Amino acid sequence: MTENNIDTYMLEDARREVAELKAELKLNASMLARQTDLARVAETESMKLRREVEGLRCCGNCVKYYEHKCYCFHNWNPHKYCHNWTADRLTREEREKEHGRVAFAGGQKRGDY
């Protein structure tokens, strides 16, 4: 083999390696784009759920409200809650069974309407 042939083989190997690296880069870019899209969708869904949870918070579903351990028990303010809000983890039916009534947003208690 001549020196010229060796250079040709090295050049071909280098071109093949560059082509393989370009293919890997393209695949990695595609996977990264997919992960970015999934992260964007997850963040959007997370923000939506946070807003939904925020909208569901009220004194009526706070464990401290029924235990008379919060300011809100005596000062009902519809659609608001104090900074000590803690979910009671009860469904409406469980809350009604346990407390005999359900506190509604707007200050109404069951039977007041």
- Give the pLDDT of residue 76: 58
pLDDT in tens, 13-31: 999 999 999 999 999 999 9
Q: Which two tokens stand for residue 4?
A: 């010229």
Q: Which residue has the tokens 């190997």?
A: 13
pTM, rounded to two decimals? 0.48
Q: Which residue has the tokens 């050049």?
A: 11
Q: Mean pLDDT across the stretch 69-94?
A: 71
Q: Mean pLDDT across the stretch 32-37?
A: 97
- Give the pLDDT of residue 59: 72
Asked if pLDDT for residue 44 goes beyond 90, the answer is yes
Neighbours of 37 (CB within 10 A): 10
